[in-house]
Structure 1
Amino acid sequence: MSYPGYPQGTPTVVPAHPFDPRADAEVLRRAMKGFGTDEAAIINVLTRRTNVQRLQIIVEFKTMYGKDLISDLKSELSGNFENVIVAMMTPLPQYYAKELHRAISGIGTDEDILIEIMCTLSNSEIRTIRQAYHEHYRSSLESDLKGDSSGTFKRLMVSLCAAGRDESMVTDPHQARYDAQQLLRAGELQLGTDESTFNMILCQRNYAQLRLIFEEYQHLTGHDIEKAIKNEFSGNSENCLLSIVRAIKNKPAFFAKCLHKYMEGIGTEDKNLIRVIVTRSEIDMQEIKREYYTMYGKSLKDRLRDECSGDYKRCLYALIGEP
């Protein structure tokens, strides 16, 4: 079953054209001036601008009025509506850095955040986030990840944080067959598991090559690489490796699964929900919606209607391209 009417791999938030940051700043100023706030005007402007354009509006607002736009928005808004607007107005590397810090600070670790971010971003994106993290927290992301994790999961995080994956997309069928055999020997064909082989291959090979390796593994064993990972690993290490595999196979489906997870059970994980919708709206949200409908038999809009309300819900609707 396919979701009707949506092309694949397209964003729901695209650059406004023509774009006049001065006019947008004036609209936002009027929306927050005097008694009451015009939330509809704020949603209408900000959900139809990209992150880069929103940052230009912030500069224009400060130039025109001598005030900080984010501070003004925070003073006028509240709850999850405030949270989603602030997320939209934060430079992307800083936003990811804050989310990673949230995952590893305080009591316990939110491994879901670490896995979702570290397993899906490119080398250059991870390097930029590492720099933003260091500038903001005066600490190394790698060191903080090491200090907050252990064992195989820690080594996976350190490997991904190194941002050294081959990104050439050049494929070698002979190497793919060899790597598939190595994975088989490291797991199912021996007592215990050689985690380092899984770590090295899954964190270093390029995405196209890994898809070939997964095909070869299926050919060799008659079952999917995911089955082997489930048999050989457990806990966060299993989740991390499965996430790498699933993101490589079908990234929109991976994020559809994330969205579903953040909305199932008692209470919605709103900050995680916001992160996926804000960050993917400029990349592949149309395809994520299609995958969500295929996987769960319900549109993402309908699911958000069940979980969210008020201006928060209307803002999320706008970000996913729904009226």
Structure 2
Amino acid sequence: MSYPYQQRTPTVVPANPFNPRADAEILRKAMKGFGTDEKAIINVLARRTNAQRLQIAIEFKTLYGKDLVKDLKSETTGNFEKLLVAMMTPLPEYYAKELHDAMEGIGTDEDVLIEIMCTKSNAEIMTIRQAYNSLYYKSLESDLKGDTGGTFKRLMVSLCNAGRDESMVTNPETARADAQALLRAGELRLGTDESTFNMVLCQRNYAQLQMVFHEYERLTGHDIEKAIKNEFSGDAEAGLLAVIRSIKNQAAFFAKLLNKSMKGLGTNDRDLIRLVVTRCEIDMVEIKREYQSKYGESLADAIKGDCSGDYKKCLLALIGES
């Protein structure tokens, strides 16, 4: 049984040809004098990758002796301003800030920790850890430990360790053994042996885990998600389900998060911005497809119904719908 690795198609790809100097000149012109040409700003920044935007910022400073981000902030307001600042932040630094803010102050936003820590590769987590350390002079692991507890804490520490096998080599016998071990650690005993779930879900490669989930269902007649819901609760349940769902279908996992950020009373703009900015260079095409099939409306229509003005236009440009 072979598992094709999930296809990933971005909506923001490197501009080619790319002329950071010409882009810097367009942005300067858009912000100089009376009034701001928001359309020109969106046309440039929403059609460049994060790496290219950072090059434009360097060029902007070289040409005009001014900080592009500061100029954008002084010329824009509200969610449009927040979106542009997010787009101009180096990605590892952006993730580090989001994690830090999720743990700052009273209470912890576990959803943000889950979204970032449960879906990143080893290399990405290592880069985020370095960025976290250089921004806050503290280790991400120590902050995670201080802000979480119990099974959820162990899950976060394991993921922060970035030690997952990423070989994509599969072994049906190991998958069977792991499925049996999970069954014995959960449904076949009184109480739950959390460490077995932690070990299997945080160590095995994604293709191998797909096989483990399949074996688990073959042994029990039901999905492993049902076992997690029965055996765990609260943040631990949410974290383990996130690991499983993002391994099964990462695009569907992110489509669900996008829907959650917009449904109900008011929009969680911080989540919406983070999800669009970080996924548009990875797999936004697949996320849009999953969104449409799951919710019966396009992601573009959901954004149109929930956002307005230049903020809406810029989000639509990032998801390739302008």
Q: Same fold, TM exceeding 0.5?
A: yes
Gapped runs of 5+ residues in structure 1?
1-7
Q: Tell me the CA shift for residue 264 of structure 1.
A: 1.5
Aligned match of 2:282: 283
Counterpart of 2:136 in structure 1 is 137
Which residue pairs with 2:126 in the alignment? 127
| Distance in 1 of aligned mates of 2:281 and 2:146 | 33
Over aligned residue pairs, what C-alpha RMSD do you find? 0.6
- Give, as a single letter, the amino acid of the residue that structure 2 aligns with 1:93: P
**Per-residue deviation, 1:77:** 0.7
AA in 1 matched with 2:123: S
1:207-244 C-alpha deviation (Å, 9 max, x unpaired): 00000000000000000000000000000000000000
**What residue is the counterpart of 2:226 in the other structure?**
227
User: Aligned equivalents of 1:131 and 1:62: distance in 2?
Assistant: 26
Q: Which moved further from structure 2: 223-232 or 265-274?
A: 265-274
What residue is the counterpart of 2:8 in the other structure?
A: 9
Q: Which has the higher relative contact order, 1 or 2, with Cα contacts under 8 A spaced 6 or more apart?
A: 1
Give me the whole-angstrom Cα distance separating, in 1, the residues matched to 2:133 and 2:208.
Answer: 32
CA distance in 2 between partners of 1:221 and 1:37 (Å): 61
Q: Match of 1:152, SS?
A: helix
Distance 1:9 1:129 in 2: 21
**For residue 3 of structure 2, what is the aligned residue in structure 1?**
none
Report the AA paired with residue 24 of structure 2. A
After TM superposition, the runs of 4+ consecutive aligned structure 1 residues lying more than 6 A away are: none
| Secondary structure class of the residue paired with 1:322 | coil
Q: How does 1:1-323 map to 2 (within 5 A)?
A: 9-323=8-322
AA at the equivalent of 2:148: S
* Structure 2: distance between partners of 1:307 and 1:235: 29
Q: Alpha-carbon deviation of 1:9? A: 2.7
Q: Give SS of 2:12's match.
A: coil
Deviation at 1:263, TM superposition (A): 1.0
Distance 1:297 1:78 in 2: 32
The C-alpha deviation readout for 1:154-176, integer Å capped at 9, x for no partner, is 00000000000000111010000
Deviation at 1:56, TM superposition (A): 0.3
Shift of 1:107: 1.1
Residues 12-42 of structure 1: CA deviation (Å, up to 9, x unaligned): 1010010000000000000000011000000
Aligned length: 316
CA distance in 2, matches of 1:264, 1:152: 29
- Please state whether the residue corresponding to 1:13 is helix, strand or coil: coil
Q: How far does residue 262 in structure 1 lie from its aligned partner after superposition?
A: 1.0
Per the TM alignment, residue 123 of structure 1 is displaced from its structure 2 partner at its CA by 0.2
Quote the Cα distance in structure 1 between the aligned partners of 2:71 and 2:137. 27
SS at match of 1:100: helix
CA distance in 1, matches of 2:303, 2:120: 25
User: Structure 1 counterpart of 2:319, which letter?
Assistant: I
C-alpha distance in structure 1 between counterparts of 2:132 and 2:271, whole Å = 19
Aligned to 1:4: none
